[in-house]
Chains A and B, each alone.
Chain A
Amino acid sequence: MADIHANREALEACLRDAEARGAMKMVFLGDFVGYGADPVWVVDTVMGLVAEGASALLGNHDNAVSDLRESLTTEAQIAMSWTRGELGPDAREFLANLPMRIEDETRLYVHANLQSDRRWLYIDDRNAAARALQARQAQAVFCGHVHKPAIYGINANEQLVAFQPVSGVAVPMPPYRRWLAVLGAVGQPRDGNPAASYALLDTKKAEITYLRVPYDIGATAAKIRKAGLPESLADRLRRGH
């Protein structure tokens, strides 16, 4: 799961869905806070899951909580100022200590990109994907940050293949090829589909299934408005944009 962005309803929906589908391990690709109105609940929940064996990575919004040099858009900056005032010392410490990358067997998990730390480049096209796959030799790389699902692969002819995953359809990621899976966002989808997005990886079958989970967007938007955050942050959730 990537880019939860303090969206409690979306995270709850995804956690329920993943549990029902028998997920055995959770990996969170960062950006727990920012934009949304539930940073405290979200960070607290993730801390609890990490204590039970889940993995979590640092995202640029998580970094911005303590790193004032982190550059954000105007709206994100407004939300970040508010978020800083909400989070307690435990949450701040948890976020400050998150790792930039996690390696697990042949898999590499990152928030944004693989080339350099803390530059948070977007892997949003073929060229960026090709550069990212050249930068590291991991067989399968998983990232978020873009908020739009995509799969990139290198075929037997050394060519890059780009693909838009379809919700609920398992896509083979055979171990003899290299893959880069860009997850959609749990808490702020931007691909025109407002449903929360996450993915299930079946390491035995070597398949990834992207999933879309509907959640109570109205409740989330109402909280954003009530917190006095920019209206556009509430509005964009309904449009998935």
Chain B
Amino acid sequence: MGKRRIRPGDTVDGYVIGKLIHSGGMATIWEVSHPDLDMPMLMKAPVLNEGADPAAIVGFEMEQMILPRLVGPHIPKFIAAGDFMVQPYIVMEQVPGEPLLKCLKRLPLPYDEVAALGAKVAVALDSLHSQHVVHLDVKPSNIMIRPTGEAVLIDYGLSHHDELPDLMAEQFRLPYGTAPYMAPEQVMGHRSDPRSDQFALGVLMYFFATGTRPFGDPQRLSGLKRRLWWDPPPPRALRPDFPHWFQEIILRCLEVNPAWRYPTGAQLAFELMNPDQVKLTGRSKRLNRDSFTTVLKRRFSEDPTAPSRIGTVASFGTNAPIIAVAIDLTEISGPLAVALRVTVAQILASLPGARVACLNVLKQGVITIDTTLDDEGRNKHVQRLVELKHWAEPLNLEEGRVSFHVLEAPHAATAILRYARANFVDHIVMGARASSARRTLLGSVSGEVATHAPCTVTVVRTRRYQRTEYGEGPNERSEDSWTVG
């Protein structure tokens, strides 16, 4: 194994070593440049000297395995890896900007800012989990925000990849992670639950919004284990104006049992981006920690973090998708609306973790500003919401699994697509009208959505019979009366 010291000005495999960025117990990080590559890059080399933490080298090998397999804006782009026998290193993109660590000076931050930040990180986690990886070290120093807005997760030295051998899994005496942020199940040595990252994000949001770490910074295993039974003070106990919806989200992230947290990062992001749709439970109102007897009972009960699930890291996402249903309200009791509901019910039957966003587009003229009141003086927006709820009623979805959104836009397909992208929707379900000359001429909304959607699209149609038998139906409408479908 190579142990040559890297110094500024050296050249390693064509990479010219620049400024030292970081020197820690596990790794050294340098700015590097390469004559053929025009981008800011970093070289990370493990600390290999005598007495170095063996976890440093194992962690480095894990990162060397995992990083090249990851793609997307939420991951620093992998450039190259050095031959381990000669000089181990990883060269990666230098993500512009500063880590969230720099925010620590300004705590507490405004609620909206923390929620927006949390949503970005939740989306990054969702991307990571869908690529089979649990990060297991989510904390401010490992998160950067790109100038384009995406959160980037750095440092995969403690991560778990569910399709690769886990070199970290065995027998390190202390669980590896960062004490204030580590999920209870991680403290107990479980490394394959993606919801552990959600717990760490919950700690981060709690800390950023209150200025206080919910579990402090324990230095011993006994202190770490306390989070299995000891609940932190609710944020509202620290800041009386803490919004109910935000406390609800944070305390759900901090649930000891992973099954009580959000099923996916995307669902967590969805809640953070739609505060008015958060279902408030007892969590949102709490002002005190649990009573002494309750805590004591938990202290001596079974380990609630014991893994019970069957499945892989990535399968979590596929079992708990966000489904957007675009509903045309002009035909709310018609056969198409019924068929749409049947299809949604069938999809939901096999996916208990799925959540449904019911959408309707309230058309607005491009030039004239539409009045928000209809001819009879009713508020159109509110009326649409009422009708959406009426449509969804027979699905019998508990609160928290379904939400309703009226999008105001001049163009239905664009509005649906924009919504799907912004909310990381996994599946769009919508109806298609019976054929019409007008649609052929202008193109259909469902066709446009299906062509451009970032996810699966199901277009629901009622059975169509031969033209010779039935011809065009009387229900044919012009594009002008079109809402969504």
**Residues of chain A whose beta carbon lies under 8 Å from any beta carbon of chain B:** 151, 153, 155-157, 159-163, 166, 169, 171-172, 174-176
Contacts and interface: CB of A to CB of B under 8 A. Distances in A.
Nearest to B161: A169
Contacts of A162: 165
Contact of B164 (A155, A156, A159, A163): A163
A157 B172 contact: yes
Interface string B54-84: 1101100100010000000000000000001
B165 A156 contact: no
A170 to B, nearest CB: 9
Interface centre among A151, A155, A163, A169 (most CB of B within 10 A): A155
Contacts of B150: none
B85 interface: yes
Contact of A175 (B58, B85, B169): B85
20 contacts: A151-B165, A153-B165, A156-B57, A156-B61, A157-B54, A157-B55, A157-B170, A157-B171, A157-B172, A159-B170, A159-B171, A161-B165, A161-B167, A161-B169, A162-B165, A163-B166, A171-B164, A172-B65, A172-B164, A174-B61
Contacts of B58: 155-157
Contacts of B61: 155-156, 174
Nearest to A168: B163
A163 B170 CA distance: 12
B1 interface: yes
Contacts of A153: 165, 167
Contacts of B84: 174, 176
A155 B61 CA distance: 9
A156 B48 CA distance: 11
Interface of B is mostly: loop
Given A161-B170, A172-B65, A174-B84, A156 B163 contact: no
A171 B165 contact: yes
Interface centre among B1, B65, B167, B169 (most CB of A within 10 A): B167
A169 B163 contact: yes
Given A155-B58, A172-B65, A176-B1, A160 B170 contact: yes
Given A174-B84, A176-B85, 20 more contacts: A153-B167, A155-B58, A155-B61, A155-B167, A155-B170, A156-B54, A156-B57, A156-B58, A157-B54, A157-B57, A157-B172, A161-B165, A161-B166, A162-B165, A163-B165, A163-B166, A166-B163, A169-B163, A171-B165, A174-B61
A175 B1 CA distance: 11
Nearest to B167: A155
Nearest to B57: A156
Interface in B25-56: 54-55
Nearest to B171: A159
Nearest to B48: A156
A132 B106 CA distance: 57
Interface string B160-198: 000111110111100000000000000000000000000
A110 to B, nearest CB: 21
A163 to B, nearest CB: 4
Nearest to A206: B84
B241 to A, nearest CB: 49
A228 to B, nearest CB: 40
A238 B172 CA distance: 41
Interface centre among B58, B65, B165, B171 (most CB of A within 10 A): B165
Nearest to A159: B170
Contacts of A176: 1, 84-85
A203 to B, nearest CB: 15
8 closest A-B pairs by CB: A163-B165, A157-B54, A159-B170, A156-B57, A155-B167, A166-B163, A169-B163, A156-B58
A210 B457 CA distance: 33
Nearest to A169: B163
A7 to B, nearest CB: 28
A171 B169 CA distance: 16
Nearest to A158: B54
B172 to A, nearest CB: 7
A157 B61 CA distance: 12
Contacts of B170: 155, 157, 159-161
A151 B85 CA distance: 22
A176 to B, nearest CB: 5
Contacts of A166: 163
Contacts of A175: 85
A90 to B, nearest CB: 42
